[in-house]
Amino acid sequence: MSVELEIRGLRAGYGAVEVLHAIDMDVAAGALTALLGPNGAGKTTLLSVIAGLLPARSGELRWAGVDLAGLAPDALARAGMLLVPERRGIFTTMTVRDNLDVFAGHRADVSAALDAFPVLGRRLDQRAGSLSGGEQQMLAMSRALLNRPRLLLLDEISIGLAPRVTRQLFDVVRGLAEEGTTVVLVEQYLSDALALADVVYVLSRGEIAFAGEPGELRGRALPGYVGRVGSGAAQPE
């Protein structure tokens, strides 16, 4: 499998604080890579650097062989990178219909989103900010369905959602990966993400604590997690 995103010795942080300490990571093209870790591990910071929102202090980042240093977020977005941020990135004061129209852009066809999430079709005239948490996350994920990005970065889309809603969203993520989108799925809770992922990275205090296939994690203890992986254990501390 070819490497879509190659990260070497990446350091980044805020002010005097370094948050990411020499991260190495290979994201395989067309695969679903889970990036896991407890609160404060640096997951959002790493996605922010990849998406061009936060500069790297040192190290290298290459996307499809191209050095990302200094490329602006809008240039990356035009090249097919899409970040669904922790706070969803939807327009809360606009209706669901208007959000979908913005996401679809010149394509103007929003049916892919309504097919995947029929509930949105019943909420078209409602303000996005008045949707339930799960519905808002479905709307956020619609951006990916309507844009078919080459590289999709998802930051804790399951947070606060019922297991049934999480499964529905993860099915859509899996479907996008099967159709060729490279996905980086950031999550704090392990079990659902492990069932979905082809490759797993665990981040702990700004360092990679594990890299491998999900099966290799079974029975292991991880920094920042209580218990061992598998049989529903290993919760964030």
Ligand X SMILES: Nc1ncnc2c1ncn2[C@@H]1O[C@H](COP(=O)(O)OP(=O)(O)OP(=O)(O)O)[C@@H](O)[C@H]1O
Residues engaged in binding Mg ion (CB under 5 A): 43-44
Which residues in 201-236 are b (16+ Cβ under 10 Å) and which e? bbbbebbbbbeeebeebeeeebebbeeebeeeebee
- Write out the two tokens for 229: 């992986």
Q: How many CA atoms lie within 13 A of 87 on its CB side?
A: 3
Answer with the entry of Mg ion, ligand X, none that 52 interacts with (C-beta below 5 to 8 A by kind): none
Question: Any contact of residue 204 with ligand X (CB under 6 A)?
Answer: no
* 41 binds ligand X, rule: CB under 6 A: yes
User: What does the DSSP 8-state code read for residue 228?
Assistant: B
- Residue 224 touches ligand X, criterion: CB under 6 A: no
Render 88-116 in DSSP notation, one character per residue.
Answer: TT--TTSBHHHHHHHHHGGG---HHHHHH
Residue 189 and residue 195 in contact, taking contact as beta carbons nearer than 8 Å: no
Q: In this chain, which stretch among 35-43, 76-84, 132-140, 165-173 interacts with ligand X, using CB under 6 A?
A: 35-43
What would the two tokens of residue 145 be? Answer: 């369905």
Closest CB to Mg ion: residue number: 44
With CB under 5 to 8 Å by kind, the binding choice for 88 among ligand X, Mg ion, none is none
Query: Which one of ligand X, Mg ion, none interacts with residue 37, CB within 5 to 8 A by kind?
Result: ligand X
Nearer to ligand X, 149 or 206 (CB): 206
Residue 183 has a CB neighbour count (10 Å cut-off) of 23
Binding mask 163-182 for ligand X (x = CB under 6 A): --------------------
Q: Which residue in 10, 31, 33, 37 binds ligand X (CB under 6 A)?
A: 37
Task: Select the span of 42-50, 66-74, 103-111, 222-230 touching ligand X (CB under 6 A).
Answer: 42-50
Give CA–CA dist 6/168, Å, rounded: 30
Least distance (Å) between residue 115 CB and ligand X: 31
Give residues in contact with ligand X (CB under 6 A).
Answer: 14, 19, 37, 39-45, 86, 188
